[in-house]
Amino acid sequence: MADQAQDKRDQEGNGNKEKLILLLLRKDVRKIYMKTLVDRLHDSGVTVAVDETNYPEEKQKKFHWILSFPGDIPKGKAHDASSLGLIFRVPGMPKLQMEKLPSSDSVKLTKLIGRYKEVQQTCIDREKHPAFVKLALIDAVLRGKQQLIQKFEDLENRLEQKISQVEKPYYKGIGYILSTSIEKITGIAVLDGLMKGLVHVMIIDDMEKRTIDGLVDIDFKRKFLSFMSTSELSKKIQEFRNAHAEDEFAKANIEEFIFNSPDFEHVEIVFFNSWKFTEDSFPIRVALRKKAIISKKEERKVQQQDQAEGKIKSEEEALEVVKEKLEEVMRVINKMEKSHFDDEDEYQLQTSARKRFLKDIKIRELRLKEMKRPISKGAGEEKKIITIDLFDIFKNNQSFMDRMGDKAGSLGLGELWGKHVKTDDSFSFNKLAEMAHFSKDWIKASAQLKKIKSQTTHLAKQLKLFVEKNELTNSVSSSGSGTEVNYQSLLDEHILDRLELAVLSCEISNLTADKLKKE
């Protein structure tokens, strides 16, 4: 575009070809404004080259005027009305003193000065309106946030690509820690992945579901794995404290929360990685819950406890009925014995009933005793938090050849070593250390990105309400963003006016300089 503009001026025989004008814009801004701006200037007989900010410096040397449009509020400047001029600033434009310009009979110069004054007055009038000023300020801040979002998304993507190349040793290291923890809980070493599918594990390392996916790749069962962010953990701890404001857990620490919160009731292992590592140490905290081991019979009793209460009540009522029948039989027998009753058959019938009722009572009492017996809790539940060094446990599981491969890599001979020795990156301590650094940076970038996105969403809502309240709408939107923004054309018009003023000021300076030379 810039080269074409220069050729056009040469063909038109423009006498100011040594003072060409170049306007450098961001790619998105150039796409929005270039055509309209060029058409406007063409009507005034002015040619400008419009290119992107990455236009080669060597080629820029052929231009006398080099303009740009940052379109932001410079860092350190206040976000108030005093910064309005900075939002629409065009660095590189000359400062014209219209009252000091020499008089001229040049039709073109007169036309340009007239157009300049017209556009300038339009800008001045527009910037007198408080609603427009606030709109421009909020929009500038919003665009700044959106640019930051893009910046952090790009950073996050770059770090994710780096992590994908070195993440396997991290999952391997977690596997070692979890296997050790499982053995402490069950007393059984992890055999053929069997115990990996019997213990519930929660990962808290702020890597979202990435760590879960990595553990599944090394044979842990996904349905027994879960994850939580540190921010969510902090929120739940505070909720737990609030719920227990009147008891001993009002100021619960992490251990008290983990072992008493319903959220962790069915979790045997909680893996905490706060990414606080040094060159030699990487401490990981692990919460272990060794649950009581009870028999299948006791387990059934626990599950049927509600039903058992009803059965006990029914059994007690039935026992009372039998006891009442026994008392009635005993009264009959006592009466027979006192009156020397001679009917032996009737007497035997009553004594048989007594034996039957006594036996029934004994059976029912034993049954009630068993039903009321407290449920055995087995060996009891053990709870504790231990610290395991990820670096140490990883190194202890490396083979001699793994360590030699790391040594070769440290000496810059990793590629040569890989050509002659078959290696597995998942056993590389060097890559584990790289993973730690990349992940820590990714977590910071991700947290910052979430924060900026939240601020941007809030700011966009404020802007929408402000636009609706002040009726700053226009039927045409030229934002070019693919999103319908009903106020954007108002700002677009002002930006175009400011860009046109900048180019006109350059051309007026060229023409007045030529006039002075001739005089």
pLDDT band at 416 (very low <50, low <70, confident <90, very high): low
Q: pLDDT tier at 197 (50, 70, 90 boundaries)?
A: low
Residue 191 exposed, middle or buried by CB count within 10 Å (0-12, 13-18, 19+)? exposed
3-state DSSP assignment of residue 32:
helix
Q: 192: which 2 tokens? A: 């053929």
Please report, in angstroms and rounded to a whole number, the separation of the first and last CA atoms in the chain: 35
pLDDT at 468 over 80: yes
pLDDT of residue 240: 92
CB 405 within 8 A of CB 414: yes
d(CA 393, CA 271): 15
pLDDT of 488 above 80: yes
Residue 376 has pLDDT above 80, yes or no: no
DSSP annotation of 387 reads: E
507 vs 514: CA distance, rounded Å: 11
- Mean pLDDT value across the chain: 84
Q: Which residue in 80, 71, 120, 82 sits closest to 488, CA to CA?
A: 71
Give the model confidence (pLDDT) of 295-323 as tens digits: 455 556 555 665 677 788 888 888 899 89
| pTM, entire model | 0.68
Give the ranges where 339-428 is alpha helix by DSSP (H).
344-372, 390-396, 400-410, 414-420
Strand, coil or helix: 184:
helix
CB 498 within 8 A of CB 123: yes
Residue 145 CA to residue 151 CA, distance in Å, equals 10
Q: E strands within 94-246? A: 201-204, 225-227
Higher per-residue pLDDT: 2 or 117: 117
- C-alpha separations of 294 from 285, 297, 383 in Å: 28, 8, 17
Q: How far is CA 21 from CA 7, 18, 64, 109, 287, in A?
A: 13, 9, 6, 17, 68
Q: What is the pLDDT of residues 340-349, one digit of tens each?
A: 767 777 878 8
Question: Average of pLDDT values for 164-174?
Answer: 95
Is residue 2 pLDDT above 70, yes or no? no
Please state the rounded mean pLDDT for residues 149-175: 95
Q: How confident is the model at residue 74 (pLDDT cuts 50, 70, 90)?
A: confident
Of the pLDDT bands very low, low, confident and very high (cuts 50, 70, 90), residue 483 is very low
Report which residue type is found at 163: I
Query: Of 262, 258, 240, 264, which is closest to residue 250 (Cα–Cα)?
Result: 240
Identify which of 251, 193, 185 has the alpha carbon closest to the alpha carbon of residue 217.
193
The whole-number average pLDDT for the span 119-126 is 94
Compute the average pLDDT of residues 182-199.
Answer: 64
Is it the case that residue 221 has pLDDT exceeding 70?
yes
Check residue 312 and give its pLDDT.
83
With 50 as the cut, is the pLDDT of residue 262 above it? Answer: yes
- Tell me, what's the pLDDT at 77? 82
Give the pLDDT of residue 473.
67
Say how far apart CA 240 and CA 371 lie, in whole Å.
36
What pLDDT, on a 0 to 100 scale, did the predictor assign at position 294? 46
**Cβ-contact 378, 304 below 8 angstroms:** no
Q: What is the pLDDT of residue 164?
A: 95
Does residue 190 surpass a pLDDT of 70? Answer: no
Quick one: pLDDT at residue 182?
A: 81
Q: What is the pLDDT of residue 479?
A: 44
How many CB atoms are located within 10 Å of the residue 136 CB? 23
The pLDDT value recorded for residue 427 is 85
What is the arithmetic mean of pLDDT over 207-211? Answer: 94
Confidence bin at 402 (pLDDT 50/70/90)? confident
Element (H, E) at 115: helix 107-126
Residue 43 has pLDDT above 50, yes or no: yes
Model confidence at 266: pLDDT above 50: yes
CB atoms closer than 10 angstroms to residue 371: 14
Instruction: Specify the range with the lowest mean pLDDT, choosing from 245-259, 474-488, 505-519.
Output: 474-488
Angle in degrees, 0-180, between the axes of helices 210-217 and 168-186, rounded to the nearest 10: 70
Q: How confident is the model at residue 293 (pLDDT cuts 50, 70, 90)?
A: very low
For residue 412, the 8-state DSSP code is: T
Q: How far apart are CA 443 and CA 152, in angstroms?
A: 11
Is 285 exposed, middle or buried (CB count within 10 Å of its CB: 0-12, 13-18, 19+)?
middle
Look up residue 49 and give its two tokens: 């080259």
